[in-house]
Structure 1
């Protein structure tokens, strides 16, 4: 099987280990990036990339924000989250936002290869020992919010992140180099798509969903 992949991680040694595992699973070029900005640039420049291994704590990622950015801009790209920290709640959130799996950095090469094979067969993959730790009751409000996030444009997601961080419309406009009236229009569109009444509620839900 041939598949071009991108390993997005700021730790060179882990990139080497993951490259070894990926190479054993399929033929194809393997690109690398060390932060979210580089990752998004490579995806923008190369539309042949089909699979991304995304480090949760990579610079610029800010929790699950990077995952949301990739899913909005490149919906056909498969995203596998990787992390040294195994948090069931975070993994559940990542799956809600469209990740196809989670691979702990502590996994052996055999386990990583099995995970990749499973994902390429069209199934999601999470370590067996974490299944029992998943919350049985999923927050319905948060699940609906994660689903509605998919309706936002990449620019609207950026605006929502800034709103959640407490920036005023004029501050967001200054940071993005656009008119304040445009930010107000984005804000109205965001609330409508999310089915919410105010930006405070949107900000709280956004932070709950994105933070680990």
Structure 2
């Protein structure tokens, strides 16, 4: 059975390079997206996609929010981050949020193929430099794990809360009642283990920042 892979990146040359790298693997079916909205639309239209290469800086994707959103909407799809940034803190956040891998854009064809094979076998792939032991696995992991408990609607409400929107504004934007917004906010605070929306918003921004 072919492996269906989506390459989500706004740079045509990089997408072409990824297609070339992945074409060396037998049985891969590739599709592309150049923005985050296009990524979502492609996934909704193709339920056979198993793996997404997600660029963190593509249009419509703010920091790690795209990763968190994909995890909530498409829990069965593996997501591998591709980015020019390689800081241990960013790698930690991405893996904590559920990424199956983290590939620097400077990686060789051989490295990309090796990473994909490991991810498809259920393993997590991160660069050998920085060394995995340099990645702090303490407090941030707990909050990122809690974030992964949120539903797509709760995640969307949390993002709006972090942007400073009031319940009335959130209700208008999402075309739902204020009471429903309040229920979502209450559920978010409970799942995240924070006492108010201000703390939830600040913690979310810190978690999504790259």
TM-score (norm 1): 0.94
- In structure 2, distance between residues paired with 1:3 and 1:194: 35
Q: CA deviation at 1:26?
A: 3.3
2:6 — aligned with what?
6
- In structure 1, distance between residues paired with 2:15 and 2:114: 18
Residue of structure 2 aligned with 1:203, choices 178, 201, 204: 201
SS class of match (1:69): helix
Q: CA deviation at 1:201?
A: 1.1
Gaps in structure 2 of 5+ consecutive residues: none
2:187 — aligned with what?
189
1:138 — aligned with what?
137
SS class of match (1:4): strand
SS class of match (2:130): helix
The structure 1 segments of at least 4 consecutive aligned residues displaced by more than 6 Å after TM superposition are none
Q: Deviations over 1:98-122 (max 9, x none)?
A: 0011111111212212221222222
Q: Deviations over 1:67-109 (max 9, x none)?
A: 1111111111110000012222111100000001111111121
Q: CA deviation at 1:132?
A: 5.6
TM-score (norm 2): 0.94
1:21 — aligned with what?
21
- In structure 1, distance between residues paired with 2:66 and 2:97: 11
1:96 — aligned with what?
96
Does residue 14 of structure 2 align to residue 42 of structure 1? no
RMSD: 1.5
Correspondence list, 1:74-113, <5 A: 74-113=74-113
- In structure 2, distance between residues paired with 1:25 and 1:38: 25
- In structure 2, distance between residues paired with 1:105 and 1:180: 43
